Amino acid sequence: MKKIVILNGSARKNGFTSALVKAFVDGAKANGNEIREHFIHDEKINACLGCDACMRIHQCVQKDKDMLKIYDDLSWSDVVVFASPEYWGTWTAELKNVLDRMFAWFNKEGFNATKESVLLMTARGNDYSMGLEQYHIFHKFLAWKDLGTILGRDKEAEAKLLGQSIK
């Protein structure tokens, strides 16, 4: 059994990205995995201040409660799921904001805190190259293990199978 945190950057609770997330969760729960999901659009998360305090004191000076929950869930989790529709070629601003703030978590936990990860992404078109590039940063620089990607709408069956594969 794995502990999975989902960072859903979609603005739509019933959109294509959320449909992939729901299918993934159904599959993952079937194996007894524990899930914590953040629908970031509904959460109050401040932007990074760029103050570098996280590099000096190994924590963010901002104490916004929703980001503090994400920090806790990142520490708790084995698997991080990034879910986002494609906006201007990459992830939504809400999810990117969380990524920027995760720098503080890395400074506290250490950049060798390895995780496994999944990318669920939808788009009107079919160019996911910038979103994939962002995702692969975690694997290239942090040695995270890629468990898989689902790219595109109407791929709920694939998302459910990917969720079921996590044990």
Q: Give the position of tokens 């529709």.
A: 85
Residue 139, SS3 per DSSP:
helix
Q: Which residues pair with 145 in a beta bridge?
A: 116
Task: Determine the pLDDT at residue 106.
Answer: 87
Domains of the chain with bracketed CATH: 3-164 (3.40.50.360)
Tens of pLDDT, residues 52-101:
999 999 899 999 999 999 999 999 999 999 999 999 889 999 999 999 99
For tokens 């595109």, the residue is 152
Helices (H), strands (E): how many in the chain?
6, 5
Helices within 35-92 (DSSP H only): 53-57, 65-76
Q: What pLDDT, on the 0 to 100 scale, is given for residue 35?
A: 98
Residue 64: per-residue pLDDT: 96
pLDDT in tens, 100-159: 999 999 888 877 678 999 999 999 888 899 999 999 988 888 889 999 999 999 999 999
Q: Which pLDDT value is given to residue 161? A: 98
Q: Is the pLDDT of residue 20 over 90?
A: yes
Residue 74, judged by CB atoms within 10 A of its CB (0-12, 13-18, 19+), counts as buried
